[in-house]
């Protein structure tokens, strides 16, 4: 049996807002689970090519990055989904802060592995030119520093940010509201 901690709301919210928020949260969770299912489907339908071409090849940095991208991302995404749908108990506010920071690190690792593969491909297409190497290195370093800065900012501010537990997962008002707004905007545009 999973026990959920309900962290109290620090302010009054209208019932209409709460209903809309819960709807947006459900949509966020459905979209996240659908994305994870697509990731696993992609892994499944390309596994035979991976076994044929990647597994027997000699070890290289490109192969290591590819496999990191392929398998670590699957594991990290699964861990995030397990929490997002409420299968892990939330014991305290500090648990939620750790989750928020861990999620930021997970996203960074996932995107970094993909970006490094694209950078390697670009570098090869440009025939390993020194100027391209320097430019790509500088741009990627700046990107990585911004990401690390955002993760550090989240770690510092998350403990003061209001995070609460709904159905066993740490939730802030930000993400579900944004997803809900995007979905409502898309629905309004597609119906007109």
Alpha carbons 38 and 152: distance in angstroms, whole number: 30
Helices within 92-173 (DSSP H only): 93-125, 130-158
Q: Which long-range contacts (CB under 8 A, 24 or more apart) does 149-155 make?
A: 150/104, 151/101, 151/104, 151/105, 151/108, 154/100, 154/101, 154/104, 155/97, 155/101, 155/104
Q: Which residue has the higher pLDDT, 119 or 176?
A: 119
Please indicate, yes or no, whether the overall pTM of this predicted structure exceeds 0.85.
Answer: no
Please check the confidence at residue 10 and state whether its pLDDT lies above 50: no
Mean pLDDT computed over 122-129: 91
- CA angle centred on 183, ends 182 and 187, rounded to 5°: 120
Q: How far apart are CA 87 and CA 83, in angstroms?
A: 6
> Is the model's pLDDT at 18 over the cut of 80?
no
Mean pLDDT over 58-79 rounds to 86
Assess whether pLDDT exceeds 70 at residue 184.
no
pLDDT at 113 over 90: no
CB–CB of 95/53 below 8 Å? Answer: no
Least confident of 30-44, 79-93, 113-127, 140-154: 79-93
Among candidate residues 108, 107, 102, 101, the one with its CA nearest the CA of residue 157: 101
pLDDT at 178 over 70: no
* b/e 152-164 (16+ beta carbons within 10 angstroms → b): eebbeebeeeebb
- C-alpha 87/C-alpha 4 separation (Å) is 10
């Amino acid at each position: 049996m999973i026990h959920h901690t309900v962290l109290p709301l620090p302010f009054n919210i209208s019932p209409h807002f709460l209903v809309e928020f819960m709807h947006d949260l459900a949509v966020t969770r459905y979209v996240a689970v659908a994305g994870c299912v697509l990731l696993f489907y992609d892994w499944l339908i390309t596994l035979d090519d991976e076994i044929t071409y990647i597994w027997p090849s000699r070890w290289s940095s490109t192969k290591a990055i590819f496999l990191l991208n392929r398998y670590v991302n699957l594991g990290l995404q699964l861990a995030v989904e397990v929490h997002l749908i409420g299968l892990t108990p939330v014991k305290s506010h500090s648990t939620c802060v750790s989750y928020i920071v861990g999620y930021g690190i997970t996203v960074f690792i996932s995107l970094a592995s993909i970006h490094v593969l694209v950078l390697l491909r670009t570098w090869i297409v440009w025939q390993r030119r020194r100027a391209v190497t320097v430019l790509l290195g500088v741009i990627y370093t700046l990107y990585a520093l911004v990401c690390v800065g955002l993760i550090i900012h989240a770690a510092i501010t998350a403990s003061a940010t209001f995070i609460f537990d709904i159905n066993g997962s740490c939730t802030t008002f930000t993400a579900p509201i944004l997803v809900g707004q995007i979905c409502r905007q898309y629905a309004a545009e597609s119906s007109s």
